[in-house]
Chains A and B, each alone.
Chain A
């Protein structure tokens, strides 16, 4: 399971950040440390990403309405064990396909983090937990490098270099 793409969607469904990550190459085959940085996914136009995010936001809202109350996850983990729990208790948490897996993490403020990963053979619950941990780390980077930036306007696209740098350090590891 490798993270291919990250989307951050604000609470009104607007895409505020999108990036594609290169797939990690096998260490045995790669000779130099400077591996290719070509993204593993084909780039869409900027508009397509916005449409994608908006659609997903809508589907997410519909899904949470469709979820029967009995099925909704009611347990909220104790704050000591889990500092940033996902507030995505209903609706869409993951989509599993043969081509990719998609996971969604929602913060208490309504911000959505979405990652697309390569398909996994592991148990879906386990994979969701792993993905949520990764998105939680992204959320931590977001709260440090976006929310503490005086030049960032809330709800607007993220352009900060510091955020991007830390995110790549986190996901790609350099």
Chain B
């Protein structure tokens, strides 16, 4: 370990006394610079005084993210997806895909936090209730408003959110009428359902009611196989 510190001394003989001028990393004329171990320890101690996001425990119950930061990053995601898509359907599809990759991770995180109480849901209604309560609480800090079963088909379910967090600040222009940016959240739901072996397609639709102009219905349509499996298992 003494050798690298010698290299530094040769290159900057004046700066070794003032340790603040030392910088690790790559110097084009010297190659990689390794700082003396004592200095690294000092660096680590000063860095640890300021905790960053990776220092927090994953099991912390109420981690909060700044809503403005979230809105701005979601803005950029929408603008990026819009730039790369031709129509509204393609845009919604892209947002859905972005959300999809989050789904399994959210599920993993919630299971980790629940610890011993964690349970693998195998019934269709129970996984939907899990999404309606636990997932919603983790993502948005509150439970979703309604969970309904379609009266027309046995493979269709609906989760309703009266005031979706993601589209709170967003006004969809008239020429993009049917667009609902909550396609992103629909993607998250789809990701969770898929990774739990409840293959489904999820879409978000705006269903306005007086007083709730942003009310969004997440329409969940399960694959035929899932319904058949459910019937075989639980309704003999």
Contacts and interface: CB of A to CB of B under 8 A. Distances in A.
Contacts of A150: 74-76, 78-79, 82, 170, 181
Contacts of A144: 169
A47 to B, nearest CB: 23
B169 A145 contact: yes
Nearest to A152: B171
Interface string A141-166: 00011001111100000011111010
Contacts of B133: none
Interface in B161-180: 168-173, 176
B213 interface: yes
Contacts, number: 40
A150 B169 CA distance: 9
Between A144, A150, A152, A161, the greatest number of chain B beta carbons within 10 A of the residue's beta carbon is seen for A150
Nearest to B169: A148
B75 A148 contact: yes
Nearest to A143: B68
Interface in A98-153: 144-145, 148-152
9 contacts: A148-B75, A148-B169, A149-B75, A149-B169, A150-B76, A150-B78, A151-B170, A161-B213, A162-B168
A161 B208 CA distance: 13
Interface string B177-212: 000010000000000000000000000000000000
Interface of B: 68, 71-72, 74-76, 78-79, 82, 168-173, 176, 181, 213-214
Contacts of B169: 144-145, 148-149, 162
Nearest to B179: A151
Given A148-B72, A165-B213, A159 B173 contact: yes
A148 B71 contact: yes
B75 A161 contact: no
B164 to A, nearest CB: 12
Nearest to A158: B171
Contact of A151 (B71, B74, B172, B213): B172
Contacts of B71: 148
Nearest to B80: A150
A160 B171 contact: yes
B95 to A, nearest CB: 11
B87 to A, nearest CB: 15
Contacts of A161: 171, 213
